[in-house]
Amino acid sequence: MPKVRTIYRCTECGTATPKWTGRCSGCGAWNALVEEVDEVRPLAPAALPSSAAPVPITAVGMANAAPRPTGVPELDRVLGGGLVPGSVTLLGGEPGIGKSTLLLHVAAQRAAAGVTALYVTAEESAQQVRGRADRLGSLHDRLYLQVETALPNVLAAIEQLEPDIVVVDSIQTVHDPELGSAPGSVVQVRECAHRLVREAKARGTTVLLVGHVTKDGGLAGPRVLEHVVDTVLEFQGERHHALRLLRATKHRFGPTNELGLFEMVDDGLVAVPDPSQLFLADRSIGIAGSAVAALLEGQRPLLVEVQALVARSPLAVPRRSAQGMDQSRLALLLAVLERRAGLSFSDSDVYVSAVGGVRLVERGTDLAVCLALASARRGEPVPADLVAVGEVGLAGELRQVSQTPRRVAEAARLGFGRILLPASAPTGAPGIRSVRLATLTDALHAVGLGIDAPVRRREVSTPRVALHLAHDDS
């Protein structure tokens, strides 16, 4: 007979303690311990897995390690070519963002390629999934549907069908009746994930799991869930906005810096062939506080509009709001603008936003953010045909960033006429005028946003010379 005991387990890291405490001893999270009933079962000797004999690393075959295309180009871009057989992928996102739609489309594409696909739905009825598949045009005879919440029945279906790909929607609603915990608890999510991972590795089956997210946007369940899977994907976007962004936060088979872009339409998710054109489609010309940045997401150059709003604040401590960029980075750029360029924001609320839901992670967007802030502060618009690329240092200097020629070529392709670059940047592309500058102060004066600040003029290492965007120094 198994022994039953009551324990308290952390929802963040899975650490178990015999009594409740306000703070988890494993990860330090506050109020994260929940009560669970745990059954201690002795492990039979026959249940122990047999150990594999060690082999030379040169004798390990790589034939089954090549990724297989999913039929969804944007997903293949993020995954580095496709799904690897025997891998387990966890897809997380807000409710209604399109997780089930994306994975149903992937399963249907694999079924259309001639392999067997199993879609396990533990949250919706068979009629709901069939209706979605009908709208998506994803009805195939090799795509099997199972409405099930019990893990043993799911494993039995996998053994019977021997599918090439399995989709479980979602891992939080699948449970093992042998465990005493409720569905969705830390024990259930962890053990069910472990069982599916072992099944995938043993059979070479590709498993895709749908994961819920918390109020903070992180994946729900224990952190060990992210550790046992091979790939963690984040599906982001606003429910009432058509644009969807797919990123990999963990990927054992390739890089994690690629970005996939989808648009939600009546027929489901479609790939966005020209994301830069989409990000700039609704851009207003001649409005102060707007600048265009050229950033790099993986190997894909993107042009994104950066908007800033500066308004006089009645508060003793003005607001600083950043959407799409780090709050501390905004504070740093504001300090550089005040100290090196003479623009003060101490009496104003400052709001900065990256249009389209893009995150300004890399430092190559610093110059565009500074131009937008200066434009909003002065009330003068940035030239409409101008793109900015460059990192801003603490001394107010402009530093070059990686893959500058690819950014310049993307700006030239979209018809922009001029681009601001650091003085050390490589040669630009034909069809666009490159203006190389040494400091942030020079860049502001080049676009007509600089001011005279005699107190701070001695701190600028580069003398203020007459700079005009009409000069081509490329």
Tens place of pLDDT for every residue, the chain, 474 residues?
A: 556 677 888 877 777 888 888 888 888 888 888 877 666 555 455 444 555 688 898 888 777 778 999 999 999 999 999 999 999 999 998 888 899 999 999 999 999 999 999 999 999 999 999 999 999 889 999 999 999 999 999 999 999 999 999 999 989 999 999 887 778 878 888 889 999 999 999 999 999 999 887 766 667 666 678 889 999 999 988 766 788 889 999 999 988 888 899 988 888 889 888 888 888 988 888 999 999 999 998 788 999 999 999 999 999 999 999 999 999 999 999 999 999 999 999 999 999 999 887 889 889 999 999 999 999 999 999 999 999 999 999 999 999 999 999 999 999 999 999 999 999 998 777 889 999 999 999 999 999 998 753 333 333 334 444 444 544 444
* Model pTM score: 0.77
Phi-psi region of 185 (alpha: psi -120 to 50; beta: other; left: phi over 0): beta
Q: What is the pLDDT of residue 456?
A: 35
- Phi and psi at 270, nearest 5°, equal -125, 150
Please answer whether residues 455 and 344 qualify as being in contact, where contact means their C-beta atoms are separated by less than 8 angstroms.
no
Give SS3 for 308: strand
The CATH fold assigned to 68-272 is Rossmann fold (3.40.50)
Beta partners for 96?
none
Q: In one letter, which amino acid is 236?
A: Q
CB neighbourhood size of 458 (10 A): 7
Give SS3 for 215: coil
Question: What does CATH list as the number for 278-459?
Answer: 3.30.230.10
Q: Which residues contact 258 (CB under 8 A, 6 or more apart)?
A: 77, 78, 80, 247, 248, 297, 298, 299, 300
Instruction: Using alpha carbons, select from 456, 444, 467, 298 the residue that is nearest to residue 369.
Output: 444
How far apart are the two ends of the chain, measured CA to CA in Å? 80
Residue spans per domain, the chain: 3-41, 68-272, 278-459
Burial group, residue 26, by CB count within 10 angstroms (0-12, 13-18, 19+) = middle
